[in-house]
Amino acid sequence: MSPRFVRQVYPAKLVRTAFRGRALPLSSLRMTADAPPSEADARRAVFESARLALARTPVAGVESLREVLRRVTEISARAIQVERVGVWTLSADRSVLRCCELYELSKNRHSAGTVLHARDFPAYIRALEERRDVPADDAAVHPATHELRDTYLIPLGIGAMLDAPIFRDGRVIGVVCHEHVGKSRTWRPDERDFAGSVADMVALKLEAKARHEAEELLRASEAQLVEAQKMEAVGRLAAGVAHDFNNLLTIVIANAHHIARDRKASSQIAEQARQILEASNRSVELTRELLQLARRTPRAPRVFDLVEGVKAILGILRTAAGPAHRVELLGGAAAGSVFMDRSQLERLLVNLVVNARDAMPDGGTITLRVGEASPSGELGASRDHLLLEVIDTGIGMDATTRARIFEPFFTTKLRGQGTGLGLSIVYQIVSDFGGAIEVESELARGTTFRIHLPRVAAPT
């Protein structure tokens, strides 16, 4: 029973102890209550404050994880007063331990990237796999850490280690390492308990990060599903009207031709007939776009080298761009092969090049680039994909326009200058061949379309 409790419940001048039955002056209890806290109490307060700070560290997203680990290692190093604190994770095959974050207290410095191979220290990995913390008071001789003596401990001057495993779904996925630089150090029970709390907190942060990634991926998938459903609905609508509309146009064009060639017709009527022909021909092109939008099955896909495929249509693309615009191709010959319809690749690039041309009314360079794709969680692309980019330095787009560019019939061009279907067709073609497309654009800074296409083995 604490002195404070005794003083509050029994405000008498004398109280009797429960153990010895003798009276103690109240003044002696008051002296005990007002005595300064012990060293253990001070340490306990430090650790509880550190735990609270760790718990309040938010995980805002994927990019913030490094910042979270930086804060965790700093808090832990100052609480235990240890020179080095690192967070290490095991690779999926358990063969590599990689440092995600390391903090050095005296230098106030962060680093990362060190890699250790599990085959070089089996006793240490075994200790972690047995779900044990490793309080190595003398790390050079401790059974779990002595294997690190020559390659890690001595070069860094580490004399003692206090390591706690990180668990996820009942499995060890990494370790939080507290490394004392200098001679050996005896780890107290409260320090070992705090180290375990830090490891558990890191596990929670990693779990929060993984959950955030999964939620982002789900939202992206839902958005792609909505877009695909929208395109499918428009495709069905287009398929339902395009054929009959084309038949009606055939009649209009035939009669307009007849009127335009009639020598008895006045010049005014002949001019009106030519205008009808011009409008009808634009309508025919619109019908073709609608039919293309409705066509869900690629026509003649085959395997071909992507760089060579783009080179083969450079002449067509330069003609589409016009004399005021240059079209340049960048990319090595070893990019890789894709499985798609060559004519669809041509249609895709013509639409993007024309779009880039129109974004640069004063002329400029349109750059095509072919290479390997970098991993992208948002698009689901990986190094098994090839990247095809179309880059312009034109007027660019704001966020509102960028969000709508793949919508059928959406256009920012003047009336009669565009159908609003070109980029919808690009989106459809890329989707038909299992790819993904993203857009980066900024007003007055230009636009980059990035198309990720699945890489396939080259034909033998």
Q: Which domains does the chain have, with CATH numbers?
A: 3-35 (no CATH), 41-213 (3.30.450.40), 298-460 (3.30.565.10)
What stretch of H or E contains 396? none
Residue 205 in tokens: 């942060």
Q: Which of 307, 288, 274 is nearest to 242 (CA)?
A: 288
- Which band of pLDDT confidence, cut at 50, 70 and 90, is reported for residue 54? confident
Q: How far apart are CA 410 and CA 110, in angstroms?
A: 49
pLDDT at 332: 61
Residues in Cβ contact with 150 at an 8 Å cutoff, skipping those fewer than 6 apart: none
pLDDT at 310: 93
For residues 91 and 294, the model is more confident at 91
Rounded average pLDDT over 337-357: 89
pLDDT, average across residues 308-329: 90
Average the pLDDT over each of 101-105, 140-144, 415-419, 425-429 and give the range with the smallest value: 415-419
Q: How much is the average pLDDT of 379-392? A: 78
Tell me the mean pLDDT in the region 408-419: 62
Q: Per-residue pLDDT tens for 348-377?
A: 998 899 899 999 999 999 999 998 877 554
**Residue, of 50 and 318, whose pLDDT is higher:** 318
Arithmetic mean of pLDDT over the chain? 79
Least confident of 4-8, 293-297, 383-387, 416-420: 4-8
Nearest to 195 by CA among 76, 104, 82: 76
Question: Given pLDDT bands bounded at 50, 70 and 90, which one contains residue 232?
Answer: low
Pairing of strands 436-442, 364-372: unpaired
Asked whether residue 283 carries a pLDDT value surpassing 80, the answer given is no
* Contacts with 419 (C-beta within 8 Å, 6 or more apart), sequence order: 285, 286, 289, 409, 411
Average pLDDT score over residue span 378-407:
82
Which range is least confidently modeled, 106-110, 281-285, 445-449?
Answer: 281-285
- The backbone region for 336, taken as left when phi is positive above 0, alpha when psi lies in -120 to 50, beta otherwise, is left
pLDDT in tens, 171-214: 888 999 999 999 999 999 999 998 988 888 888 877 777 777 66
Coil vs helix vs strand at 109 = strand
Neighbour order of strands in the sheet with 385-392 = 325-330, 364-372, 385-392, 446-454, 436-442
Task: Provide the pLDDT for residue 393.
Answer: 94
- Say yes or no to pLDDT of 26 above 50: no
**Residues 6+ positions from 146 with CB-CB distance below 8 Å:** 123, 139, 140
User: What pLDDT score was predicted for residue 12?
Assistant: 35
Residue positions counted in the chain: 460
Residue 389 reports pLDDT greater than 90: yes
Does residue 376 sit in helix, strand or coil? strand
State the average pLDDT over residues 249-272.
83
Which region among 67-71, 124-128, 129-133, 364-368 has the lowest average model confidence (pLDDT)?
129-133
> Is the pLDDT score of 44 beyond 60?
yes
To which residue do tokens 């073609």 refer? 429
Lowest mean pLDDT among 27-41, 207-221, 368-382: 27-41
Among residues of the chain, what percentage have pLDDT more than 90? 31
Give the pLDDT confidence score for residue 51 in this predicted structure.
84
The Cβ of residue 459 has, within 10 Å, a number of other Cβ atoms equal to: 10
Share of the chain above pLDDT 70, in %: 77
In 3D space, the residue among 112, 75, 66 whose CA is nearest the CA of residue 195 turns out to be: 75
325-350 b/e with 16+ CB inside 10 Å = b?
bebeeebeeebbbbbbbbebbbbbbb
- Indicate whether 314 pLDDT > 80: yes
Q: How far apart are CA 290 and CA 243, in angstroms?
A: 9
When mean pLDDT is compared across 15-24, 261-270, 272-281, the lowest value belongs to 15-24
The pLDDT, as a whole number, for residue 110 is: 92
Contact 252/280 with Cβ under 8 angstroms?
Answer: yes
